[in-house]
Structure 1
Amino acid sequence: MINYQIAKKILKKSIIKIKDEKIKSVNSLNRVASVNIYSSIDYPSGNNAAFDGFAINSKDTKNINKKINQKFKIIGSIAAGAKPFKKIIKRFDAVEIMTGGIIPKGFDTIIPIEKIVFFPSIKNRKYILINKKVDKFNHVRLKGSDYKKNEIVLEKNSIVQPNHILTFKTLGIKNISVKKK
């Protein structure tokens, strides 16, 4: 039997070439990535709501004070995964939006449902009342805030973990190159 130091020298001089193979990303747990894996899209694909609530334009609140409520007309509702909102948006309009719903152009902030006061009543919801200035991009997940297009999501020679598989599913990465076992 050879000693440890000699064995180590022999291994360092030897060229060990492990070939690559393409496999389904869902089957890649604990495998070693053989290439860098990049995002092919921005995720999320557009600005979307981080909370259930109402989307408004923050500019419409710049002159509001606590003594006077401003009415914002409810013009529709947007569910997560719904087609883009096509209505024309005017000043002091609001749209109900669910978590994950894409925010239409003309709106830039979300007021969570817990902070909403309805007018004339909660059962007859025609308007929401706002009595303070609201900042831009409140409760908004911005386009590409999780992953930007062409960003590395897993580096070469990294071991695939469960969170990487979730990322692959999210970004639509179906196959990846890994080292053969």
Structure 2
Amino acid sequence: MKNKFLFFSILISLLSCTSNKKYELASDIYILDKEKPIESFQELTNKLQGKAIYIDRWATWCSPCVEEFKHNEALHNFLHENKIEIVYLNSDTDLEEEKWFDFIIDHKLTGNHLRLDSLLKADLIDKGIFIPMIPQYMVVSEKGEVITNKAFRPSSGKKLYEQLDSLLIK
């Protein structure tokens, strides 16, 4: 009887450790392709129709990308004050969804999120938007047009804010 109790105790412990983790993302974290994949740049801009967008293309393994996240508080304040949306476009190819969510949460990446799949990447390449190195920052007008695919980094601070101001804010 004692052995059965021990066996079931161990079994319950193991099952609770291996159960799927449910993610409760904060209310200010939005997964844009949660309902259906976004396969083109137009689909992305349609999701945020009528809004100016600052796109941050990054990957978890990219240390310069992660370094830039240290400047997010000031960046988010500026974007919020000027009604500019941020989209974090993740470029990891084999990253499990759980690890992606963990990374978003751990780095407090509030805003809109999207994974770069092969169809979206091909569309960005066809449109001449994609640059084959990261981090990459893009500015998109309220009309869904790319104004620049080589925007300043968040660490540029005032230079970035002046760039956004001159390109988007009237």
Q: Shared fold by TM > 0.5? A: no
Instruction: Specify which structure has the bigger relative contact order, considering alpha-carbon pairs within 8 angstroms and separated by 6 or more residues.
Output: 1
Based on CA coordinates, which of the two structures has the bigger radius of gyration?
Answer: 1
Structure with bigger helix share is: 2
Choose between structure 1 and 2: higher strand proportion: 1
